[in-house]
Amino acid sequence: MIIAPLAPSDFEGAVERLAAILQACVSEGSSIGFILPFSLDEARAYWRDKVAPPHTAGSRLVLVATIDGEVVGTAQLDLDGMPSKRHHAEVSKVLVDPRHRRSGLGRALMAEIERLAAEAGRWLLTLDTAGDAAETLYRSLGYEVAGTIPLYARDAFEADRYDATRLMYKDLRSG
């Protein structure tokens, strides 16, 4: 397994796998910003329209985990922020291909996210999550729950259901 930041020049070549992983995660009901039905075209559009611009501009890091050259996981770190928030970054879209779960990829992606955040001088990390697996992962890494927002996002499957999200944070200086 190799975990590395995706270079802007490699972005387009990774879009198909990134879209497939995103679609797989949404299809299983993960609350990651999308609702079903969710097509591969919509997944590709997310990567190209929402992620590529800040990635190219250098305000967002995109990590990819590869096994034998195939992208099997990803995570993002948003470094954009106001002048008073330059110690802060937002973690998002930690996604692991369902075929490769529970083999340490999520933990390894987060370790690299934290290493790169610290290298960039960002010692306060925040994220929000609605999934039990993800929350367990983040708690195991020392993330604290700041609070819960009810009715935060529409459920991926049910149109009239809104799910809560947990806001979490970690001060990297405290280890």
Ligand X SMILES: CC(C)(COP(=O)(O)OP(=O)(O)OC[C@H]1O[C@@H](n2cnc3c(N)ncnc32)[C@H](O)[C@@H]1OP(=O)(O)O)[C@@H](O)C(=O)NCCC(=O)NCCS
Residues found near ligand X in the complex (CB under 6 A): 25, 30, 32, 94-96, 101-107, 129, 131, 133-134, 136-137, 140
What is the SS3 assignment for 70?
strand
3-state helix, strand, coil in the chain (%, to 5): 40, 35, 25
Q: Which is nearer to ligand X, 4 or 57 (CB)?
A: 4
Beta bridge partners of 5: 63
Least spacing, CB of residue 174 vs ligand X, in Å: 20
Least spacing, CB of residue 167 vs ligand X, in Å: 11
Least spacing, CB of residue 123 vs ligand X, in Å: 20
Q: Which is nearer to ligand X, 104 or 121 (CB)?
A: 104
Q: Which is nearer to ligand X, 24 or 120 (CB)?
A: 24
Give dist(CA 114, CA 91) in Å, integer. 9
Give dist(CA 135, CA 164) in Å, integer. 13
